[in-house]
Amino acid sequence: MKMYILIKDSIPAGYAMVAAAHASLAAYLKFQEAEEVREWLSGPFYKTLCKVNEKQFEKAKSFTDHVVITESALEGQEVALAFKPREEWPKDFKFYPLYR
């Protein structure tokens, strides 16, 4: 089980770190009653952080069970997506580059 967090590649690193933290918490709070989250929390609870371009970000929003994170300091811009933990992921997720 793992949670994916996608951060737009146009977001400055400082905001990206804050967005990742907020995304993890927001996804947990939104999906905390789901069986997948309980299983994920039993460990190990992996998170995969990826840096995506605008096109990838918009396409990823079409996948189910996610939360969108905005940044007020960037005029409410959407900066991150966090997905409910799961075992199987759509093919696109295999090609998102890790955030380094």
Determine, yes or no, domain membership for 100: no
Determine, yes or no, domain membership for 85: yes
The CA distance from 21 to 24, in Å, is 5
DSSP letter assigned to residue 97: P
Q: pLDDT digit string (tens) for 75-90?
A: 999 999 999 999 999 9
The CA distance from 94 to 30, in Å, is 24
**Domain boundaries, position 56:** 2-95
> What is the value of pTM for the model shown?
0.95
Q: pLDDT digit string (tens) for 12-51?
A: 999 999 999 999 999 999 999 999 999 999 988 899 999 9
The total number of structural domains that make up the chain? 1
With residue 95 as reference, give the H or E element that holds it.
Answer: none
CA-CA-CA-CA dihedral for 5, 71, 52, 93, to nearest 10 = 30
Cα angle value 98/8/34 (rounded, 5°):
75
